Chains A and B, each alone.
Chain A
Amino acid sequence: MTDRLITDVGGLPADAVPREEVPQLFWEKHMIAMFNVLWSKGVFNLDEFRRTVESMPLDAYKKSRFYDRRTDGMTDLLVEKGIIDRAELEARTQAVLRKGTRDAD
C-alpha cells in the first residue's frame, strides 16, 4: 500500500478507540471559526486545505494534533497565496509566547 495518502487510514490496523471526552478549548473553537470565515470568503477551499495535510511528511502527520493541522494548513495556504509572511508570523508567535498572555499585542 505504498500509494496510500497519509490520511487514508481506513482499514489499517489500530488499537482500541480512545473514548475519553476531550473538550474543545476556546482557542480551538475560535480558530475553527476563523477557518470557516476564510473558507466562506473564498480565501481558500476545503480541497486546498486537505492537500496541505496530505502533503505532510508521514512522521509529522502521525505526531500532529488535529487543531494544529488546521492552523498549520491554513497558514501554509495564506503563505502560498502571498497574504501572510511566514517569518513575520513566526516572529509574532514568539512575541506572544514571550508575553505569555492571550493578547495579540
Chain B
Amino acid sequence: MTYTPQLRELMKKVEETRPSRVGVHFPRMSQEERQDVLQKFHPDYIEDGFRELKVGVNKGSRLPNEMADVFESYSPLRDVELDLTADPDYDVDVLIIGGGGAGASAALDAHAAGAKVMIATKLRFGDANTMMAQGGIQAADKENDSPAIHYLDVMGGGRLENVPELARALVMDAPLVIKWLEDMGTMFDKKEDGTMITNHGGGTSRKRMHAARDYTGAEIMRTLRDEVYNQGINVVEFAAAVEVLLDENGRAAGAVLYNLETEEYLIARAKTVIIATGGSGRLHYRGFPTSNHYGATADGLIMGYRAGAKTIYADSIQYHPTGGAYPPQLLGLLVTEKTRGLGATPLNIKGEQFVYHLETRDVESSAIIRECEERGMGVPLPTGITAVWLDSPILELTHGEGTIERQLPAMLRQFQRFGVDIRKEPMLIYPTLHYQNGGLLIDGNGHSAVENLYVAGEAAGGIHGTNRLMGNSLLDIIVFGRRAGRDAAAKSKDMPGPEKLTLEHVKAYHRELEEAGAAGSRVGPILLPHYTHR
C-alpha cells in the first residue's frame, strides 16, 4: 500500500475512464501547437536558466547555468606539480576516456584495426548511461523502412538542426550496428524465425525500435564489455581523466588520470585520444531530478573544451517526459519510453488524456509541465510536487494479460520494490533530466576541432540537432564509437608518438578565466556529484 488513501481515491478516476480510452487515439498536435507548447513550457526556452559563456573557443555562446559553472572553472591540476617529461605511466596508440557503450565500441574497433588501446574510466567499466537505456535501439532494417526514412525522422525530431553529415552516418550505419551486435551474441527480442521484434518510439514513422526486453542498454553494455575483456584490452577503472594533454603542436597526446582510490595522478601518453565520457545529468539543470548515471558530470565536455574543441547545442537538454515522481525512492528514475510505445498514455487528475502519447520527447515533456503548471490539472503528491498518471494497466487490456511482465520486467520489478504494482496501478510521472542533446562538435569520423582528439557518445554533439529521438542514443554511441575507434587506430598507425606533453592550454584557459573574472573558486571537472547531508 504505497499509494496514500488520497492517491488511491484519485486513482479511481483513471480506472473509471479506462474502458472508454481503449482503442481511442488522441490527436497529434499540429506544428504550430508543438512550437507553442515548447516555447512556453520547455526548460530550454526559460531564459533565466542560461548565461553567456565568458571564456574559450565558444565564448559568448549560451549555456545552462550549471554547465557554465563547470566550463568557467579552474582545472584540478592548477596547484599540482606534474613531471610531464618523465616516462609516462601508460603509453598507447589510442586512449579512450570513458567505459560506457561508446568507449567499449571504440575500443573493440580500434583493437581490431591493430592499435594498442587502453580504456581509462572514472568508475567501473560499464558504469554509464548505456547500462540504463531501457527501451531500444533504432535501425532501418525492415523492408518497409530505409535509412532515408529514418533520416527524415531524425532530422524532423531534431528540429532540422542536426548536422546532416552526422545524421546520415547515424542512420546508414544503423543496420550494420545491429548486425555487429547480433553476431556478437546480443540477445535481441526476436520471433521464432529470427525476425527482430520492433516497435514505435516517440517520433518514429516506422516500427524500428529493437529491444532486449527493457534491459536493452544493459544487454548491449554487458555484451560489449564481455567482448572487450575477451580481446584482452587494457581497462583501467577508477581512473578519471581530469585533463587532456596536448603536444607542442597543439595536438591531443594523452590525458592526466586521477586514481580515485589512491588519489594519485597518472600520465597516459597516446597518439590519439577519444573522449567518451557521456552526459551531464548529474549537474541537475534547473534543479531537475535526473535519470542519469552517477558519473554523468560533463567531465569530457570541459576537458575537451579547455583543449580547444568546439561545442554545439550545449544549451539543448532533453527532459524525458516520463521520470518517476512517486514513490519518492523512484524520483527522477526513467520510466522507459517503451511503456508509451506499447500504448500507455499520460492522464491528468481527472483521468483524462491531454496529449498524444507519442509526441517527441520535448513536446511530450512540455505538455506534461503545462498540464501541471498552467492548467492545474496535475496530481498533487504527498512529497509536495505534482505529477501526472501514466496508465500502465491499460496495456494488460490492450495487449493481453502478462504483457507487462513480459515486456517491461525491469519497470515491474522497480515499482514492486517500493510497493506499486504497475499491472494494476498506474504510475505517477513527471519529466526528468535525461540527455544532453548537444556536446562537442565532431565530423563523420568522430574527430573534433583539435587534431588527434575524437569524441563519441553523449559527449559529442550535432547528431541529434536539439532533440534526440528514443533509440537513437544507443545507436549513436556505437556508430560513432566505432567510427572514432577505426579512424583513431588508422591515424595512429602512420604517426610517431608525441614528443612533448604539455598543459599550456590549461594555463592559458586559466589566464582567460582570470581576465574575465569568471571562475570564482570553482574547480572542474567535478567528477562526482555531491549529495552528502542534503
A binds B: no
Give the interface of A toward B (CB within 8 A).
none
Give the interface of B toward A (CB within 8 A).
none
